[in-house]
Structure formats: structure tokens, C-alpha cells
Amino acid sequence: MKSTHQQLFELLEEKSRLYNNPTFISSDPISIPHQFSEKEDIEIAGFLAATLAWGQRVTIINKSRELVQRMDNSPSDFICHASAKDLSLFSNFVHRTFQGEDCMYFILALQKIYALHGGLETVFTNGYLQNRSIKESIGNFKDVFFGLEHLPRTRKHVPDPMNGSAAKRLNMYLRWMVRSDRNGVDFGIWKAISSSDLLCPLDLHSGKIARKLGLLERKHDDWQAVEELTANLRIFDPLDPIKYDFALFGTGVNEKTF
């Protein structure tokens, strides 16, 4: 698809306005943290929903809802006070390849993060502040998160950009937590990370539309592609480039003839 710079800008703005609104919430995993009003509940529920965010969106939402229901719909209180007996309630939780052992480790790791490291915001922010780098933010989080004894299989459920992963789910999670959104979709509750440094969540849908629009040339959906796409989106809005995630993803999911 050939477009002038102005035409592409107008299209991205139009599609962002179309999909970045409260009607987007109910059909997206972001609906899970939107069940809560307290900061810690939002960020924990959001992290768990983002972790499960692969496959059909209806299934993702249902399994994420099941997970927080098993926490008595109080994820922060549950994480902080969960006992070994409480953990056993998750031994049979399954979402695709995310098994009970993985789920129980995630709860233990989150418990440690809130008890010893100041919470999810602090861990992600500490890595980011080293070089204003989202890559290092995610890398620092992964290092801290896997500081307890764990099964090797569990590591695959936290993507690693240091190994070239596009880290779609964690970039999406950071968008939710960091980006201030007057339309009420993203939360904007983490203040030390700049929205201008966020990176675009890249998946099959957003990648397809980005390539059609000439925003992405790289063929593989990896970290290099994420950086390429985001650099091109910053041309249109250097302060809030990731608002265009709504345009790319929304169009890819909802407009099959685009």
C-alpha cells in the first residue's frame, strides 16, 4: 500500500481514534485489570492477564478471569499473604502450555517481588532507568523474577528481548501501565517510565498491517522488528508513538479486507 507521509499520518490517527476508546476494553485482556481500582491489584492482574495473552482472546479473558477468581478477586492481598496451602489451589490451572507448576512459581515470584523489591513498578523502572531502555527494563525484571529455584520450562513464559524475542506481551503490559490515556483504556499508573520510550507490541495482526503500510520491512517478528516499527511510529508522534498500537492491532483484528 503506497501512501504519502500525510496520508499515512491521517490514517494512523483515524484508526487510533476508532479503536482507542472504552468499547475496546471488554473484548481485550486489558478488561481483567479494569475490574480493579487499587494500583497493586491493577498491576498484578494486568501482569497475569498479559502473561496468558496468547491464543484466542475470548479464551485468554476467561482464563485470566478464572485466575483472579482463584485469588478471591483480590490479587494483591492474595499475593502478599499466600501460604503453601493457598498455592496448591493452582496446581491444576492450565492455559495452553502454562501449567500448574508455572502458575505456582509465578505467584511465589510475585510474592518475593512485593516483599523484597518494592513491587512490579519498581523492578521494571529500575531496569529502565539504567539507560532509559525498555529492553533493559524487561531484562532486569526477568532477572529478578527468576531469582528463586524454578523449572527450566517456566522461563519460556517470560519473553527475553536479550535473546531476540519481540516480547509482545510485556511490551503490551508496559503500555497498559505506563501510557496515560485520556480515553480511559491504558492506565498510566507508572510515572517514572516515559511513554515516548515505550515499544510497540508486535504480533501477527499488528505486523501484517504495519508491513502493508510500509512501516515495517523486516520479515521476522523479533526484537529488531519491534525497534524498526517503533522508530517509524515515532516519526508521527514522538511523545506517544504506541497509541498507534491501537490502529495496527485494531485494524488487523477487525478489518479483514484492509
For 3-52, the pLDDT digits (tens) are: 689 999 999 999 999 999 999 999 999 999 999 999 999 999 999 999 99
The predicted structure's pLDDT at residue 10: 96
Structure-block grid coordinates of residue 79: 499475593
Within 10 A of 1 (CB to CB), how many other CB atoms are there?
11
Percentage of the chain surpassing pLDDT 90?
93
Task: Tell me the longest C-alpha to C-alpha distance in the chain.
Answer: 61
Q: b vs e for 192-202, b when ≥16 Cβ sit within 10 Å of the residue's Cβ?
A: ebebebbbbbb
State phi, psi for 172 to the nearest 5 degrees.
-65, -45
Question: What is the phi/psi pair of residue 95, to 5°?
Answer: -135, 105
* Predicted pLDDT of residue 134: 97
The domain spans of the chain are: 5-254
pLDDT attached to residue 258: 77
Q: Which residues pair with 95 in a beta bridge?
A: 98
Q: Which three-class secondary structure state does DSSP give residue 98?
A: strand
CB 16 within 8 A of CB 247: yes
Note the pLDDT tens digit of each residue in 145-187. 999 999 999 999 999 999 999 999 999 999 999 999 899 999 9
Q: What is the mean pLDDT of residues 108-124?
A: 98
CA distance 116 to 124: 14
Which residues, listed in sequence order, are joined to residue 211 by a DSSP beta bridge? none
Q: Work out the pLDDT band at 230, boundaries 50, 70, 90.
A: very high
Cα–Cα distance measured from residue 64 to residue 37, given in angstroms and rounded to the nearest whole number? 17
CA 76/CA 83 separation, integer angstroms? 14
Residue 116 C-alpha cell reads as: 523484597
> Among all chains, which residue has been given the C-alpha cell 512501516?
215
Position 23 scores a pLDDT of 93
Task: Let me know: does 216 contact 229? Beta carbons within 8 Å.
Answer: yes
